[in-house]
Structure 1
Amino acid sequence: MSITYIPRVTQLDSIHLDDQLEELFKHLLFQTTKYFEPGLLQPVLPELELLLRTWIFKYSMYNKKCTFGQQMLSMRYKTENFTTSKLYWYYVYTVLLRYLKDRALYSYTSNIKVQNVLNRVEKVQLVGDILNFLRFIQSGKYPMLIDYILGLHLSADRITRENLSDFSWTRELLWHNLIELTGTVLSLVNMFGLRQKVTKLLRHMWWKSYTRSSVISGSSVMTIHTVCPCCSKRPILPHVMGCSHVFCYYCLMANKMADADFVCPKCYFNGKDVCPYTISSIV
């Protein structure tokens, strides 16, 4: 009789086994071609990965309705609701979409519009994975987003790791997934903008007075003691943004590109016009 309840740790472990299996095949492929002429396989690398993932899909999901990782842990998808159309959609999501993204990255590296579209799609997928992982932790079902979308249920012939005695291993696996989730969330956060908002909030909480500078750019004076407010080093390619402080060009532009409301760390002036510093006199 099939068992419907499967521990969360076992389901997560099957996903890691699938990832490690794919990396193992890639490693073997690169080992067999390491004596080829450098750069020979690089243009067709997405196609090689497509063939590899398709081969894995053919001998796992297509033939046995379970991945190799699930098979090693005695799990499989329930066949009563796993139709042929769902199998094709599973292939499109797990194999074909990854190939299209890799090929676009290789072929349209300099196309800003294509790269922006890819970044938006990837962010949407990451948000979906995060929400699905939080739902999975609560319910214990559908460890992957595609499982939830297609309504694929897992069953097992026997309970794998029924008696978990190695609690350190279990804790390590859970911490590993938590760290991955935290890293994914942080990658979606505008750290520069968040830092500015937190700084303003703390400044208000501590009742510190801060007044935005009304100094015009012409009053900026650069001396031998002048340092960039961002990196505290001698300004390289000096630029100003309307206050009395002189910035490095890259420090100022990097902060402006990351946060349009970037303010001067010294006087909290929110300058909009960035221009090169013009030496009017030597001090």
Structure 2
Amino acid sequence: MATSAYVSRINQIDASQLDKEIYHILRQQTTEISKLCTPGTIGKWQPEINALLKVVVWNYSLRNGNSTFGQQLLNLHYDKYNKKKAILYIVLSVVPGYLQEKMIDNRLIGSVERGNQIRRFLDWISTTVRLLTFVNILVFLNQGNQPNIIERVLGIYNRPTTTQRPRNIGYSYMTRELLWHSLIELFTIGLPMVNVHLIKQRIKRIWWTRKIIGRSVAPKLEFDTKCPECDQSPNLPRHAGCEHIFCYYCMKARFTVDNSFECPSCGVELHSARMRTA
């Protein structure tokens, strides 16, 4: 590999992934359009449509320039690239996949035995290509260029479009993010463990005296009755020993935390064993 400007490995891999995502987006859109047609009309032409999409992407990128759409987004381009290699690039990108999709169609295979032979041959080719792709990735990690096997076959290299400058990395933003996420985790874990109602009770005890009743009080549910907890009309009204009526869920939530609590309105200590329907 000729010596030239350094190209980040991650940028090369990201450019390749962006090209794949662009193709998949176009393919997904054609699939959505085909749903409007009669079932089976477009499906039999799917290999041709996939090949045409690749040709369209190539026509507006590598045919008129020396970079794919993914490379353009990351300021990369191909070095040692010409018209001949551009044609070979699209042939190697389209023809193998097209033949594989077309040969799978049983209608193009005469006999079952011939079909099995063709499938075994395609599986062998596919396995070989995957092995070569794996080897190419290992070489790419060592040399730092040509992450795709087609690039290595054609002898083209990734080069930066603009002069790369050393990046000054500041850690102040990272520090703020770490502190913020740590604070959020502290609140997320700690707040549910705080019994807010118990704290409110302790504060209220400073200025009121708890009422002690010797007999249970029969509260009356009236039109303007409000739940002392949520200050709304009681939903599934319940009481537990004082003259006030609670919502079922308000009272049940308090008793889930503790077997007893003080009524927010009168300060009477209520116990879960006394919980009754109003």
TM-score, length basis structure 2: 0.54
In structure 2, what is the Cα distance between the partners aligned to 1:86 and 1:150?
7
Does 2:129 correspond to 1:129? no
| Cα shift at 1:4 | 2.6
In structure 1, what is the Cα distance between the partners aligned to 2:52 and 2:145?
30
Q: 1:39 to 1:156 in 2, by over 3 A?
A: same
Contact 1:74–1:156, Cα closer than 8 Å, also in 2: yes
Aligned to 1:222: none
Aligned to 1:76: 77
Q: 1:12 to 1:115 in 2, by over 3 A?
A: same
Q: 1:147 to 1:130 in 2, by over 3 A?
A: same
In structure 2, what is the Cα distance between the partners aligned to 1:85 and 1:119?
30
Q: Identity of aligned pairs, percent? A: 24
RMSD: 2.4
| SS of residue matched to 1:38 | coil
Contact 1:10–1:161, Cα closer than 8 Å, also in 2: no
| SS of residue matched to 2:47 | helix
| Cα shift at 1:84 | 2.6
| Cα shift at 1:83 | 2.9
Aligned to 2:94: 95
Q: 1:146 to 1:161 in 2, by over 3 A?
A: farther
Q: Report which stretch shifted further, 16-25 or 90-99.
A: 90-99
Contact 1:65–1:77, Cα closer than 8 Å, also in 2: yes
**1:142-162 CA distance string (max 9 Å, x none):** 111111111101211236796
Q: 1:34 to 1:145 in 2, by over 3 A?
A: same
Q: Report which stretch shifted further, 83-92 or 64-73.
A: 83-92
Does 2:47 correspond to 1:43? no
**1:24-71 CA distance string (max 9 Å, x none):** 001111122212112221111001111111111111111112111011
In structure 1, what is the Cα distance between the partners aligned to 2:54 and 2:37?
22
Q: Structure 1: 5+ residue runs without aligned partners? A: 167-283
In structure 2, what is the Cα distance between the partners aligned to 1:16 and 1:161?
24
Which residues of 2 match residues 1-283 of structure 1 at below 5 A?
Answer: 4-78=5-79, 81-107=80-106, 108=108, 111-158=115-162, 163=167
Contact 1:147–1:153, Cα closer than 8 Å, also in 2: yes
| SS of residue matched to 2:159 | strand
Which contiguous aligned blocks of 4+ residues in structure 1 show a shift greater than 3 angstroms?
Answer: 107-110, 159-166
Structure with greater contact order relative to length (CA < 8 Å, sep ≥ 6):
1
Q: Report which stretch shifted further, 137-146 or 27-36.
A: 27-36
Aligned to 2:228: none
TM-score, length basis structure 1: 0.53
Contact 1:76–1:156, Cα closer than 8 Å, also in 2: yes
**1:206-257 CA distance string (max 9 Å, x none):** xxxxxxxxxxxxxxxxxxxxxxxxxxxxxxxxxxxxxxxxxxxxxxxxxxxx
2:96 maps to amino acid: L
| SS of residue matched to 1:149 | helix
How many corresponding residue pairs?
A: 163
Larger Rg over CA atoms: 2
Q: Structure 2: 5+ residue runs without aligned partners? A: 171-278
| SS of residue matched to 1:112 | helix
